[in-house]
Chains A and B, each alone.
Chain A
Amino acid sequence: MAGRVLLVGNPNVGKSSLFNILTGTRQKTGNYDGVTVEKKEGFFEGQEVIDLPGLSSLWSDGIDEKIAIEQILLADPSKDRILFVADGLKLQSNLVLFSQLADLQIPMAMLINFEDELKEKGVKVDVRKLQNKIACPVLLFNARKGHGLDELKPILREDKFATPNAFIRTQYEVVEEDQFVNQYSSVVKDYLNNPSSASPPEVMQDLESRNLKLGNFLHDIITETSTAKEDELTDRLDRILLHPIWGSLIFLLVLFLVFQALFSISAYPMDLIDQIFGALSTWANDTLRPEWLAGLIGDGLIPGIGGVVIFIPQIAILFILLGILESTGYLSRISYLSDKWLKGFGLSGTSVIPLMSGLACAIPAIMSTKRIRSEQERLAAILVTPFITCSARLPVYTILIALIFPEDAYVWIFNVKGLMLLGMYLLGTFTSLIASWVLSRFNKESATSIWIMELPRYRLPHWRNVFLETWTKTKAFVFEAGKVILVFSMILWVLAAHSPKSEAFIQEQISTAQENTTGIDEASIRLEYSYAGYMGKVIEPVIEPLGYDWKIGIALISSFAAREVFVGTISTIYSIGSEEEGTVIERLRSENIPGTNEVRFNIATCISLLLFYAFAMQCMSTLAIVKRETGTWKWPIIQFIAMMILAYVAALIAYQIAT
């Protein structure tokens, strides 16, 4: 075998956890439908493994499900294999899909996942009997703990897959085996290309007869020693968490605690990192020689790296908390609770998962909209998700909020900065909903899709997956966003430390300025006549009504690639433009409007900047993914222009009112 191993199964059966174990990659996993929305590729000992989106049957027509079916139909039985993953507690409904795959006669093996929960529930699956009946390997497995992996590896290494019996025959049954396979495969292929090719009664009859036959087929394979079919804990928790009043209050409380924790817990490591990098920068400037090297390292490299590292605690805590909500099964309940009021905005409870994922990053969030059945609702979700406060905005908000409020500002027991941050997150969510409502006004047809969702049992968080995912995402932020930030910081240092004018000209400007105005820094004059200074001044007339000067203009230009670049840029610019030592926040607080005693980062400017970053589309990667998902440049261009206009107008109004 030198072909591919396709991981196939219903949604939420643990395929992604298995894929992570087999390939050593860190794909996102969660306790809700639709975590995998497109195929993911990895390798197990040189063997290509492909994780496909979950699907309930070969008659599915969702966008993500079609991706899976296409890959299955492309499989070459002589070399490709299917590793079917089933939820042990839902074997009958999972085997509907398995029986369809068996009809395609591709070599397969079956993993029955959640072995631990089968034991807990007192459910026994006679694996040997099942294996004999279907004539292909069957293993009990626990993807969360990796139990059963030792038995699985030889199947993969030694190609012990086997072509199962076409054990459930339906109306497609014909006498000759080859004819049967070909007919079923071509019927499914036709349906994939044109869902009206198979009549609804034909599809229903196929699914119904498989389900009915499976009930008889499994009666001597599954034995349930426990009569308690209901999960009491889930029932009890749902009575509270889905309660019209308590459920909504608990949801708001959970959100509130998440944002309080973000600021309160992360404050200590962030302060420490800020001080360490401040001290390192001072040390580099004082001890390194020649002077240009000291400047490059002390004012360019160290503040640039510091601007990335300082946000690691906050981003890691956000990902840990979101990971816990996902893996416990609570995220599906949020979907349930939010459907009614999302409907009023032209969305449905299904959209809440992309919107919540947008808290981490808009890119996977937009990709996860494939689960939304209605095209109109999907487009709306794609267009409004970038308003949700992503982790890239977090560093920008943190630094601006810290400039507005003093240290240790509390209202009763609540950290004021945490409350302000929660406000920014609510603003992002509210804006995305209003934008969606506006979009829904342009649609004549009802935009929402049929809302149906499995509410999984509550589970304890799978800590290993939560921490692995946090590690992967934080690492991605540091090394992906960090690379961009670092490169921009270095380029900015070069642009800010060098001037198109001669040294004599600059000295003359310094002397003139110092004669006319007291308290003017030499470094500030040098920055003004640098390449970066000239760039900032080009856009200054446009941004001045928003309360920004040419220095902030440099940060705005550089952060068009990615929002978080703002922080690295501002750290670098104000390290160069100030002779003050200390942390970035201290430097920004001490920055005055030239020739006055007025602080540059006053409340009006900070609020204006907060609003600008809340609404502006400053992420090239998101625009690229919107183009990919909508298949046209029309929507990302409209999205970019609309968001930039909104950002400019909101920042302008806020600044003009606040001053």
Chain B
Amino acid sequence: MAKLSEVLSGSLIILEEAPSDTSVYKVLMAYGIFRGTQVKILRNDRWQDMILVQVKDKRVAIRKEDVKSVEVTLLSEVQ
């Protein structure tokens, strides 16, 4: 398991467990990030404190601070 906000750009992840903060999960689901959905990390932007992910054909930017409690499983990691 890894923190969503700390995953490196280019990694492929999956949300195996629903985040404990249900209000965060509800917002993530509204943007297509469900339990079981594969998500590609396009950019982990330390400068802007943002994480840009690709969910299917959708690019979604998320403020890292808001999802710091969200844990994900790494499917492939960029070194």
Give chain A residues whose Cβ lies under 8 Å from the Cβ of B30. 56-57, 60
B25 CB contacts on chain A under 8 angstroms: 200, 204
**Chain B contacts for A657, CB-based, 8 A:** none
Query: Are A211 and B34 also in contact (CB < 8 A) when A59-B26, A204-B25 are?
Result: yes
Closest to B57 in A: A89
A230 contacts the other chain (CB 8 A) = yes
B46-61 vs A, Cβ < 8 Å mask (1 yes, 0 no): 0111101011111111
Chain A residues whose CB sits within 8 angstroms of the CB of B63 once the complex forms:
339, 348-349, 450-452
Contacts of B18 in A (CB 8 A): 204, 208
Q: Give, as a whole number of angstroms, the nearest-CB distance from A553 to chain B.
A: 48
Count residues on chain B whose CB falls below 8 Å from chain A CBs: 35
Which of B36, B45, B62 interacts with A452 by CB under 8 Å?
B62
Which of these, A60, A229, A349, contacts B57 with CB under 8 Å? A229
Contact partners of A242 in chain B: CB under 8 A: 43, 45, 48, 52
**Is B58 touching A454 in the complex (CB atoms < 8 A)?**
yes
Q: Is A1 an interface residue (CB 8 A)?
A: no
| Nearest opposing residue in chain B for A453, CB measure | B61
Residue contact A90 to B56, C-beta cutoff 8 Å:
yes
Q: Are A56 and B36 in contact (CB under 8 A)?
A: no
Q: Which residue of chain A has the shortest Cβ distance to B47 in the bound complex?
A: A244
Residue of A208, A451, A454 ringed by the most chain B CB atoms within 10 A: A451
Residues of B within 8 A of A590 (CB): none
User: How many Å from the CB of B14 to the closest CB on chain A?
Assistant: 13
Find the B residue at minimum CB distance from A200. B22
Known: A453-B60, A455-B59. 20 other contacts (CB 8 A): A59-B26, A93-B31, A93-B58, A200-B22, A203-B26, A204-B26, A207-B26, A207-B29, A208-B35, A229-B57, A244-B47, A244-B48, A336-B52, A339-B49, A348-B63, A349-B63, A450-B24, A451-B66, A452-B28, A454-B60
Binding site for B on A (CB under 8 A): 56-57, 59-60, 89-90, 92-93, 121, 200-201, 203-204, 207-208, 211-212, 229-230, 234-235, 238, 242, 244, 336-337, 339-340, 348-349, 450-457
Q: Could you tell me the dominant secondary structure of chain A's interface residues? A: helix
Contacts of B58 in A (CB 8 A): 90, 93, 454
Counting CB contacts under 8 A, is B78 at the interface? no
Q: Which 5 pairs of residues, A with B, have the shortest CB-CB distance?
A: A200-B22, A244-B47, A56-B30, A451-B63, A93-B32
B58 → chain A closest CB, angstroms: 6
CB proximity of A339 to chain B, nearest CB, Å? 6
Give A121 to B50 CA distance when docked, in angstroms.
27
Q: Which residues of B contact A229 (CB under 8 A)?
A: 54, 57
Taking a contact as CB atoms under 8 Å apart, the answer to whether B60 and A455 are in contact is yes
CB<8 Å pairs between A and B, sample of 25: A56-B29, A59-B26, A89-B57, A90-B32, A90-B57, A92-B56, A93-B32, A121-B57, A201-B22, A204-B25, A208-B18, A208-B35, A211-B37, A234-B59, A242-B45, A244-B47, A340-B48, A340-B49, A348-B63, A450-B23, A452-B62, A454-B58, A454-B59, A456-B59, A457-B59
